[in-house]
Amino acid sequence: MFQILLFIAVLAATGWFAAKGYGRVWRNIHLGKAEKTEGNAAERWQNVLLVAFGQRKMFKNWLPAVLHLFIYVAFVITQIELIEILVDGLTGNHRFFAPYLGGVYTFVISFIEILSVLAFVATVAFLARRNLLQVPRFRKPELNGWPALDANLILLGEIILIIGIFSMNGADQVLQARGVEHYGPTGAFAVSSLLGPGLFAGLSDGTLIAVERFGWWLHIFTVFGFLCYLPYSKHLHILLAFPNTWYARLSPKGEIANMPDVQKEVRIMMGLEQPDPNAPNDLPEFGANDVFSLSWKNLLQAYSCTECGRCTAACPANITGKKLSPRKVMMDVRDRAEEVGAAIASGAQTREYYSDGKSLFDYISPEELHACTTCNACVEACPVLINPLDIIVQLRRYEILTLSAGPTDWLPLFNAIENNGAAWAMSEEREGWRNQF
């Protein structure tokens, strides 16, 4: 009874902390402005199934993709055993499903154990890739400090989770063989039937029960800790990859959204539309300069970022030594959303009148924005359909059209387009050549 009460208390505390963390993320994402979701629902579901569930874009680099698949599938399938652990914690019924499923139960747990071994191999490989092999995309400045620690903590958590599973199952197998009460037969598990007797055969029944309970509690504490930790980690993409792929843009990657106010002025200039006499005289703001003027979908993408660095590794500007890193842009947007959200939550600021003297330009420098060639390499590389280019373009529009700033070597181009309707400064009208024929 004490264990049940303790489990309920831990479960309640986990629910409270997790709800607080996920609520913060929800609030911060909705700091962005509204944006309609249009397009074919079938195509959106296809993105969810193939990209989020199927990991399709991961397999452009097969080795890390296979290793990631081991961890991903193990994580998903292990939830079956987690359900049983929850039933055990709430009712005290150990191996609740075993009598009802028989051999199917043995097969499922054995499959989970095999996946756990593969996940362990993948986890060790990922730790080596991040800390020993000096993979270039994991050595960028934006990963210094917390981002690097965050990635390692989750990988170490995976190892702890696997230790919990095999401690629990291994001791359980030995207790079953001895006929100890409360440990009914489940059949031989693929890994624990060998690992358990090899490690625990010399232990007394009481010590074995302690080892089994240790593994049980270690597993559930790791899972609960993981749930509470996710809202503060880049591994939130485990959950947000699914809505992010659903809401991802369906238009061609090379298509950049038009600005309605500019379109309207052009149509008026061409005589295709009459000016509105009641229109306000104030000039609109173009582009975005902070999280409030980005779309909530842009902020969802920032929180969905896996920080894998495939976008930065594919960026031609970054490859040639320029400062631009699309991954850093997404991380900066998320950091700014965190800063703004915390200020609003504390009561120091309100959303309607927010002003702290800062903006996204304090995180992302003009040098980074100007280096972008709008080639869409980062968009193509992202395994969860994030679009850093959209944010870069919106920030550049604000800088150039609203702040009237920008690189001095771009100004002749802008002046030529404004005065001559072409990218080149010409002494004659753009269509003057037609008069010669």
Instruction: Tell me the pLDDT tens digit for each residue of 275-325.
Output: 777 777 676 788 999 999 999 999 999 999 999 999 999 999 999 999 999
What's residue 61's pLDDT? 83
Residue 122 has pLDDT above 70, yes or no: yes
Per-residue pLDDT reduced to its tens digit, 24-45: 999 999 999 999 888 889 999 9
| pLDDT surpasses 90 at 398 | yes
Cα–Cα distance for residue pair 298/393, rounded to 1 Å: 12
- pLDDT for res 266: 73
CA pair distance 131, 151, nearest whole angstrom: 11
For residue 90, the one-letter residue type is L
pLDDT > 70: percent of the chain = 95
Contact 9, 16 (CB under 8 A): no
Could you confirm whether domain 255-406 is CATH 1.10.1060?
Answer: yes
Mutual angle of helices 146-178 and 192-200, in 10-degree steps: 80
What string of DSSP letters covers 50-84? IIIIT-GGGGGSHHHHHHHHHHHHHHHHHHHHHHH
Q: How many CB atoms lie within 10 A of CB 321?
A: 7
